[in-house]
Structures are given as structure tokens and as C-alpha cells.
Structure 1
Amino acid sequence: MLRPIVVGLDGSRESLAAADWAAREALRRGLPLRLVHAWEAGMAPDESELPELQAPRYWARRILRSAMDQLNEHYPQVYLSADQISRPAADALVSAGAEAELMVLGSRAFSGFGGFMAGSVALATVAHVTRPVVLVRADQTLEDEHMPDADGRPSAHTPYRDVVVGVDPSHPCEELLAFAFENAALRSAPLRVVHAWQLPYVQSAAEAKARKAMRAAAEKALAAVLGPWREKYPKVEVVELVEEGRPAQQLLQATQDAGLLAVGRRIRPARLGMHTGPVAHAVMHHVRCPVAIVPHE
């Protein structure tokens, strides 16, 4: 049975942009698309006819119906379904995400930064869903996935923008690399693999030599990790970027003109709460393109 791509809808511009992006992803992958809206009003049988619940129930249904109509018009080839779930939003999305191939959520932009401001629901979902989660900004369009045309204008008919993935060779993540290579292959897009390293403290006289040796070791380690994946996806153009600096900052620079960024998130015991890791947390807040958070052991 095919796992669907699942979108969390709340009626906002961000969630509608996420649904639009998810429909295009469903087309690329040949998967069904499931729309989910969580409605937290009282759902006990004796409360079902209370007048004060009729208006929110109506708007909850309208959110799904309007999104279904719009997506059916723009993407008639996609098989759509919709569910209204009477649970708190984060709980509903985590449950739905467990059965998904991919979970897609909208995320608000920071004024002045142009990146993500992930609310509590998005953060809780990212921290607990065991499948990849993609965060999409409200202003993302079909043209943003593609390179500009020869005149520098937005286009939906040019090649896809690069996919970027952040990798630490000392902690290789098969799930993350599988996601990144698969998405680059689906788009026939180049894959930029970013590995950031930092020089530990050394005496100034030995600094240049130590930096050269550390860069060489980093390049060798990354090449070794990518070797099997290059063989598995020979048609994917891979660009290795081994840069000195903080990982989040290097990823921010590498994604200035990218179409998708993928980073990993280590799955932690539930008792540790909402923890996404410092790199995932930083890129969720500041990277402009869609961000995929891929959980792994």
C-alpha cells in the first residue's frame, strides 16, 4: 500500500502553500495526497449540537473543502483525500505523519530575516514525527522550484534548482542521504552536499599546517560516505562543498539559490521533550527555501 503525502491545513496562507507544494511532490512521486485538519472543539456526543460549536465546525469543514477544490483544479492527476480530526493539532499531525511517506507543513516567515518562524505546533510535529517533515513558506510558488529563464525571469519550465543536504561524515545518516539523492533524482537536479568543519585550537605557528590537514581529512571522509550513493544514483550530479565554519551558517550560504534543503534529526526518547538539534533548529528559522527534516536513529 502506498504511503500518502500528508499536509496539515489550518486555513493560513502558509498551509495552503504547503498543500500546493505537496501536490507537486505527490505528482513527482506518484503518491496520493491526504489533507488533515485538526479541530479541537468539544466532540462529546452530548455537545455535538451545541450552537456555539456550529460556526467553528463549519469553518473547519470549509478549510478542507476549499483546499480540495483548489487542488483538484490545479492538479487533477493527484488522488486527494481529506480528514477532519478531533484532536489537538500537534497530536493529530504526529499521528497522521506516522502513516505518511512525507509530512508537509506551512511555516511563517521572520520579518527582516526571510526565514522560518516555526510555531509550537510545527516544532512539536517536527520533533516527534518519525517520517520526514518539510516546512514550506507562504510565498513559495511553482516558479521558485525552478531556475530563472535566460532573461532572469521566474519560470516553471526551466531546470529545477539544486537540492542541498548537510552531512557530517563522522555520523553518517543513511536515511538523510537516501532522501537527498532520491529528491535530486526526481527533479533531475544537482545535489550539493555540504560538510562544515571547524579547526580546534592550535598554536599559531602550526595553524596553517593543521588547517590543510583537517580540510584534506574532511574531504576524504565525505568522499568515502558518498561513494556508495554515487554508484546507486549515477545520473545525479553531486557537488561536494567542504567548508570551514559552523554548519548552520554554511548551509544558509549554500541554500541562497536552492530549491530544497535536507538536514537530519536524531530520534530521541520521548522523555527528552521537543528536541530537533541545533542545526535543524537554526535552518528551520532562517533558510528561505523549503526545509526537509529527516529523522534517523
Structure 2
Amino acid sequence: MNARADTKAVVVGVDGSTSSIAALRKAAELASTFGHPLEVITTWQFPISYDRTLPPAIWSPEADAQAILDATADEVFGADRPDHLTLRVVPGPAAAVLIKRSEEAELLVVGSRGHGGFAGLLLGSVSTACAQHAQCPVLIMHAPRTAHPHPEPLPLPEREQALR
């Protein structure tokens, strides 16, 4: 289905993590299915302890954010990017930027930063803030599980050998 220019966007925040890649994949699927434009946002800000006298040629958090955004879009879409796709690098704290953008969005999609085990049940600070304060529905995606929580049992002959 083609996205209409007059419809609200599905907005997704990405940071290069596996959960944000999963969020972008799901956001792209939903935007395509329901005919909404897709807006992909990553944010940047100077670290509190950053010496702003360093020239941007030495280090630029904005350039780093752009590289993360481009790499994430390349991983999900390759050369086949949707027509109604917007990629944006925005200065500011991620949660504040995404919450502000949610005021005009159809849906906000973010990744969870849980790292498995008990911590995997918890949401990251950005996803928690978005869930609590966004002005549109929020979908929080976990990274796909790639490993089994328990190792596969050995085939029977190898088990017997291991027991000897």
C-alpha cells in the first residue's frame, strides 16, 4: 500500500541497537500495511564532560548519529528504501525529541534496551519515558532472540560418550 502525504507518520527512534533495528523493521511493516509515511529519527547531544573547543573534524556526535542512522537504514532496507521514508538526525535527548514528535505521529515505535534475564524484563529509560509521556500509541520492540536460553541436548550417542 502506498503512503499518503496527508496522513500522520509512523515515527521510529533508532540508535543502532538490535532492538532499534527490530523497531525499524516493525515500523516499516506497519507504515506500509496501513499507508503511512515512515519517519526514522536518531538523536545526538554533546556529553556533559565534552570539551566543545575540539573542532568537529576531530569528533562530531552529529556525524556519528548520521552514520548510525544510515547504517541502520541500510541494514533494514538496503538499496530498496520506501518512497515515503524520511531519515532525521535531531539534536537533543532521545526521549524528549521522540515525545515531542509523538504529538503529530500516528504511532511511535522504539526499541527496548533490556539485556536478557531479569534485566530483559525491564525497559530502557527512553522506552519507559516514551510509554509514559507520548501523545500517540507506542510500540516497544525487543531484540529478536538469537540464542536458546538453554543449550540443546547432545545427540544420544554423544551423550553416552560424555557419560563414560
**TM-score, normalised relative to structure 1:** 0.41
Alignment of 1:187-266 (within 5 A): none
Residue type at the aligned position of 2:111: G
- 1:21 equivalent in alignment to 2:26: yes
Residue 34 of structure 1 and its aligned partner are, at CA, apart by 0.4
Number of aligned pairs?
137
Gap change, CA 1:114 and 1:29, over 3 Å in 2: farther
Residue 17 of structure 1 and its aligned partner are, at CA, apart by 0.9
Gap change, CA 1:127 and 1:55, over 3 Å in 2: same
Gap change, CA 1:68 and 1:39, over 3 Å in 2: same
2:93 to 88, 95, 105: 88
**TM-score, normalised relative to structure 2:** 0.72
Query: CA deviation digits over 1:237-258, x for unaligned, max 9?
Result: xxxxxxxxxxxxxxxxxxxxxx
Correspondence for 1:58: 63
* C-alpha distance in 1 between matches for 2:43 and 2:114: 22
Query: CA deviation digits over 1:146-180, x for unaligned, max 9?
Result: xxxxxxxxxxxxxxxxxxxxxxxxxxxxxxxxxxx
* C-alpha distance in 1 between matches for 2:25 and 2:79: 9
* C-alpha distance in 1 between matches for 2:142 and 2:35: 23
* C-alpha distance in 2 between matches for 1:76 and 1:58: 21
Gap change, CA 1:52 and 1:90, over 3 Å in 2: farther
Residue type at the aligned position of 1:20: R
* C-alpha distance in 2 between matches for 1:137 and 1:77: 23
CA contact (8 A) 1:108 1:116 kept: no
Residue 68 of structure 1 and its aligned partner are, at CA, apart by 2.5
Gaps of 5+ in 2: 1-5, 147-164
CA contact (8 A) 2:10 2:108 kept: yes
Alpha-carbon RMSD: 2.7
Q: Partner of 1:37: helix, strand, or coil?
A: strand
- 1:34 equivalent in alignment to 2:42: no
Correspondence for 1:6: 11
1:103 to 108, 115, 132: 108
Q: Partner of 1:41: helix, strand, or coil?
A: coil
* C-alpha distance in 2 between matches for 1:72 and 1:48: 37
Alignment of 1:153-164 (within 5 A): none
* C-alpha distance in 1 between matches for 2:71 and 2:121: 25
Gap change, CA 1:48 and 1:72, over 3 Å in 2: farther
CA contact (8 A) 1:27 1:78 kept: no
Quick check: which one's helix share is greater? Answer: 1
* C-alpha distance in 1 between matches for 2:33 and 2:40: 18
- Report percent identity of matched pairs: 34
CA contact (8 A) 2:108 2:139 kept: yes
Tell which structure's C-alpha radius of gyration is larger: 1
Residue 14 of structure 1 and its aligned partner are, at CA, apart by 0.8
CA contact (8 A) 1:68 1:80 kept: no
